[in-house]
Chain A
């Protein structure tokens, strides 16, 4: 990185660097303005002659696989987060690369979790240069304090696919953890002792990386059915004792929140969807696995039953709550992005109407359309939302990196985007004057539902009209913000951040939406 960083102010009014990790950047230009041209990136041509005719691509261990894939300094190594906080593969692969003497690697995870903390050591010793992917917990703190060499690049799930297709990120070696695989490299996530459901996050990497390694702890003879990852894209297969800790991969059961305030928010969300006329025969919605989202599904389910209304499809984050909808005949399909509990895993492995999706089908900016914009309503969370309905999911209000973007940005294109959140947490304001970091532009956020009321974005006159007869507590966002400040004892002081960027937030189209600044120690 050059020592002198240049900045421009983008269309969201945020100061963003012109160059990130040596690559020139395009500042955010507004929603649906930027239209890139050109040809999609592709990996080098390979031929079947280079691979064993018997289809057996097994090698002894990850080190051997990395060597075989031509590991060199500065390479981009990708891994995936479908094993969530139980993942053992990413750290093992990066450590193996370090032991082979590789330096300045770029780690390109689809998301990182607290279990990936050992990567800090690899960054300190120089094996890993920086991370392009979500950072939270210890990694988030490390980056936020300015201890990482390059800039963190935060992308949505769809934005990750877009960056791969753009060629902005050229993956040298993809390491795919597979709950089940065969020696040819066909891989599946819905079966095996470490079953996690869908492997959708690894799909782009399998198609666009120069080299692909599949790592499994459940090797089956060819063919592995179903194959979510096609062995035809795979270079090597490595068998290991364990790819992860099943107890951290999926929850045994997901529980609805017991917090009365969050239950109230969930009830408001369900009533909003009903009263705004979104709940009608054949509608669709997306819900995550957060406490409020689960509870909202429970409420909506009752309303759908009593109104005799069925959904055509629901999207998740699947849990037993969505599976119940399927079994009760309240939805025709579950289109599943990732699977959060055992009921979800069992269902995706056995129920034909519970279908695995990928960021390509769901979110990709360079697709010829995607599912996210076809969903009628999506319920999301955020750490902050402001008077312009801009929202923040990546940093704490104090500026520290907290969360990845996940599919959050992509979901904003739904017919109605609902942010369901408490208006404050203890004494930390959530509804604020101006968000610390913009993760999503307010023009795409239609409703804020909190325990103190429901604020509809004034742009959505149609929703306001539809809610004319609703007995929901409708309020303006500034009215809620004022109440929050009165409760918390005045306007919060803004965090003091340095002028040094530590990470950038990409918009779904690859432009730069905002900058995360260093938090002083």
Chain B
């Protein structure tokens, strides 16, 4: 845990000051906190909050608890609150205290059960990016039912807020119910990303996204760091899956060694903004400039036995463009893509869902296969056609995808928990 390695820091020179969070009229579900740690005078909390009528006492209690956890006995705390939830208040105050040179354990009480490992081949059609320093998008993210949520510590977080975002994301993993979405964290580029792991891994997210990966060694470094942190006392047997993001020409060339670097890699994805910049070409809505890279990625992923996941589609207003992109992505062999807005989730799920005709055909093939099996026949035939084993395999995969996407009736009832409780096969 972070506190272990830094507890030896000597007491700060007083008065130490720290600030965190945001203020301003457009701020919602967040707060600004300023702390001035002194040597006398006890605790003075100057609270201005839109919700002090309802939660003023609760806010003060949260503040006093965190100050206690950081052994601060004398301080002036100024808070300008815009309706922040307790996990946000705790995170901002902790960031301010750390910036004032204090160390302590500010983790809020866990609100939700610690997550369990997800299946390696879990349904990953959509993954919604959430800026790691913006609490207002986190609170209701789960209700939009993406397959996965990415708490992003990398590009969406300003360089000077990396420390604060890390704490906020850690608290969100402890306190926000994402309603069954796979919880992913995108760490920063190495080596900064390793510090992110120190804070994040103990909260056992289901997956870590590693940005700008160019070779397998980077994946192994992350894997090893996670291993070490887990043997330090985190929950036994919890596998944190890795999704390396390839964002350069070199990364594309090394796609297979990246995908097969460790057994914990579950998926491979691509970041097209950086990739096209690396090539020196313009990124287009239709994407022919990245066709090679994406096909190469799919091939490498399949060769390594992991999922291939596509990039994001950047224009939130262009639903038709998104549908077209997603349909092409599926036809190339991708199993999902990223979302930058909840409105993209449904079109993506629809695009990656098999069509009724595909499902019907696949069911017929699987049915013919099972009948042949039960009769002890080696040859599967459907009508006048003979069905080859790879066709059966593809049909089985498609039926499985349809089942998980809630497109297969089970009895009279549609299953709608496939995304929440994926089949648990191989959590190593």
Which residues does A use to contact B, with CB under 8 Å?
Answer: 260-261, 263-264, 397-398, 425-429, 451-452, 471, 486-490, 492-493, 495
Q: Report B53-72 CB contacts with A as 1/0, cut-off 8 Å.
A: 11111100010000000000
A407–B177 Cα gap in the complex (Å)?
38
**Contact, CB under 8 Å: A486 / B111:** yes
**Contact, CB under 8 Å: A398 / B83:** no
B364 near A: Cβ within 8 Å?
no
A residues in contact with B290, CB < 8 Å: none
Among B29, B143, B414, chain A packs the most CB atoms within 10 A around the CB of: B143
Q: Please, how many residues of chain B have a CB less than 8 angstroms from a CB on the other chain?
A: 28
A285–B90 Cα gap in the complex (Å)?
46
Q: B144 touches which one: A264, A427, A486 (CB < 8 A)?
A: A264
**Contact, CB under 8 Å: A427 / B83:** yes
B residues in contact with A488, CB < 8 Å: 55, 85
Min C-beta distance of B408 to chain A, whole Å = 14
Min C-beta distance of A521 to chain B, whole Å = 13
B residues in contact with A397, CB < 8 Å: 53-54
Majority-rule SS of A interface residues: loop
For residues 371 through 416 of chain B, which have their beta carbon under 8 Å from a beta carbon of chain A? 414, 416
- Between A and B, 6 residue pairs with Cβ closer than 8 Å are A260-B341, A263-B342, A425-B83, A427-B84, A428-B51, A487-B85
A488–B55 Cα gap in the complex (Å)?
9
Q: B50 touches which one: A426, A486, A489 (CB < 8 A)?
A: A426
Min C-beta distance of B385 to chain A, whole Å = 35
B343 near A: Cβ within 8 Å?
yes
Which residues does B use to contact A, with CB under 8 Å?
Answer: 28-29, 50-51, 53-58, 62, 82-86, 111, 136, 139-140, 143-144, 177, 341-343, 414, 416
**Contact, CB under 8 Å: B58 / A489:** yes
**Contact, CB under 8 Å: B85 / A489:** yes
Q: A492 touches which one: B55, B82, B136, B143 (CB < 8 A)?
A: B55
A residues in contact with B82, CB < 8 Å: 426
> A493 and B55 in contact (CB under 8 A), knowing A425-B83, A471-B416?
yes
B residues in contact with A471, CB < 8 Å: 414, 416
**Contact, CB under 8 Å: B140 / A261:** yes
A residues in contact with B136, CB < 8 Å: 426
> A493 and B50 in contact (CB under 8 A), knowing A260-B144, A263-B343, A471-B414?
no
Known: A398-B54, A471-B416, A489-B62. 11 other contacts (CB 8 A): A260-B144, A260-B343, A263-B343, A426-B29, A426-B50, A426-B84, A426-B136, A427-B83, A427-B85, A428-B54, A495-B53
A370–B29 Cα gap in the complex (Å)?
43
A residues in contact with B50, CB < 8 Å: 426-428
> A264 and B83 in contact (CB under 8 A), knowing A428-B51, A429-B54?
no
B residues in contact with A425, CB < 8 Å: 83
Min C-beta distance of A438 to chain B, whole Å = 19
B residues in contact with A452, CB < 8 Å: 143
Closest 9 pairs between A and B when the two form their complex, measured CB to CB:
A426-B83, A492-B54, A260-B342, A427-B83, A489-B86, A398-B53, A427-B51, A495-B53, A261-B140
B residues in contact with A495, CB < 8 Å: 53-54
CB nearest neighbor in B for A453: B143
CB nearest neighbor in B for A261: B140
B residues in contact with A426, CB < 8 Å: 28-29, 50-51, 82-84, 136
B residues in contact with A398, CB < 8 Å: 53-54
A399–B53 Cα gap in the complex (Å)?
10
B residues in contact with A263, CB < 8 Å: 342-343
Min C-beta distance of B418 to chain A, whole Å = 14
**Contact, CB under 8 Å: B55 / A427:** yes
**Contact, CB under 8 Å: A428 / B342:** no
A397–B342 Cα gap in the complex (Å)?
29
**Contact, CB under 8 Å: B56 / A493:** yes
A45–B319 Cα gap in the complex (Å)?
64
**Contact, CB under 8 Å: A493 / B57:** yes
A429–B83 Cα gap in the complex (Å)?
11
A263–B50 Cα gap in the complex (Å)?
25
